Amino acid sequence: MFTLGQKVIIVGDSFEQSLPIGEHAYIIGRDRNPDTVYEWIIRVPIADRHYPIVTDDIALEETLLEEAAEQIQQEALLDFALATRNEALFRKVMGMHEHEPESELKKESAEDFIRIVNSKAWI
């Protein structure tokens, strides 16, 4: 997953070591000792320190950028669906795909829907 010399970003601080979250770091070593929980040793240039860390505390910059781009795309599609009142696109973006055909779906009136929502809200 990670290689030596790779540039990473600190995304967490599992063991409360006062890691500078959000800062860039470089992987400078791997801790292969089975007696420790730490897996990697990173160097943080801005803090001028080395830290032993676990894999969950770091992420590749490319991965974070891809996740941010996907989130922005989802939000833009959602905004477009709401602005154009496109229910099909809204359901697709929100992951509310209907797997049953329309003929098999039970049609509910607006009053039944409100009654069901209100009953669930009080539980």
Number of domains in the chain: 1
Which residue range(s) make up the domain with 35?
7-61
- CA atoms lying within 13 Å on the CB side of residue 112: 4
106 or 13: which leads in pLDDT: 13
Nearest Cα to Cα of residue 63 among 18, 119, 9, 116: 9
Query: Model-level pTM?
Result: 0.62
pLDDT in tens, 33-47: 889 899 999 999 999
What is the distance between the alpha carbons of residues 85 and 59, in angstroms, rounded to a whole number? 37
Which pLDDT does position 15 carry in this prediction?
92
CATH code for position 17 = 2.30.30.40
Which pLDDT does position 100 carry in this prediction?
46
40 close to 22: Cβ distance less than 8 angstroms: no
pLDDT in tens, 85-112: 888 888 888 887 665 444 444 566 777 8
Which pLDDT does position 104 carry in this prediction?
42
Pairing label, strands 49-53, 58-60: unpaired
